[in-house]
Amino acid sequence: MKKGKVIILVAPSGSGKSTMAKRLFKDFDNIKFSVSATTRPPREGEIHGKDYFFLSDDEFSKRIEEKDFLEWEEFYGGKRYGTLRSEVDKILNSGYFILLDVEVKGAVNVKEIYGDECLSIFIKPPSLQTLKERLIARGTEDKETLRLRLERAEEELTYADRFDRIVINDDLDTAYSEINKLVSDFMNNQ
């Protein structure tokens, strides 16, 4: 059995990354999602090992010290999220491709680890103004969260040239067609 490869989608919040990921899962049955670890408590209905690996702060810190994470990050409110290398390798060794939805710094680290066995795609909004409009239209952000997300987006955009490909999401279907082709070509290039 051939070993799988890593596909990373990276984008500022509101750029269409989750929508693109859902469509890839629908179109490619040999792509699996990596379950992340987090220190936040489970929400109602979430299952340990299926939605997230829910870890205590101490457990998460121990896993960092033991270098068990490919990448990890701390977010607003002190909650940490990370990708366990053991989970990624388990999926890759089963012959599947794995899709990671991680932050820019983590994505750069994962790309360094997996090199040519990894395709990294940065999904870019046409402009910060368009991104702001999309975030407002979602209706999930208060003014402070919106401000923080836009500040973070501005920083994340400075990393775009570190990725294999940049796809501008001006039109969802056009951008998805481009991403689908990049992923298909990468998968067929084994």
Question: What CATH number is associated with residue 37?
Answer: 3.40.50.300
pTM, 2 dp: 0.88
In a domain, 30, yes or no: yes
Q: Domain of 59? A: 6-188
Total number of domains constituting the chain: 1
In a domain, 41, yes or no: yes
In a domain, 24, yes or no: yes
In a domain, 52, yes or no: yes
In a domain, 1, yes or no: no
- Rounded to whole angstroms, what are the CA distances from 15 to 85, 159, 167? 26, 15, 10
In a domain, 34, yes or no: yes
Residue-by-residue pLDDT tens, the chain, 190 positions: 678 999 999 998 888 888 999 999 999 999 998 889 999 999 889 999 988 999 999 999 999 999 999 999 887 678 999 999 999 999 999 999 999 988 888 899 999 999 999 999 999 999 888 888 888 888 777 888 888 888 988 999 999 999 999 999 999 999 999 999 999 999 998 6
- Distance between CA atoms of residues 9 and 165, nearest Å: 10
The radius of gyration of the chain's CA atoms, rounded to the nearest angstrom, is 17
In a domain, 87, yes or no: yes
Task: Evaluate whether 165 touches 118 at the Cβ level (below 8 Å).
Answer: no
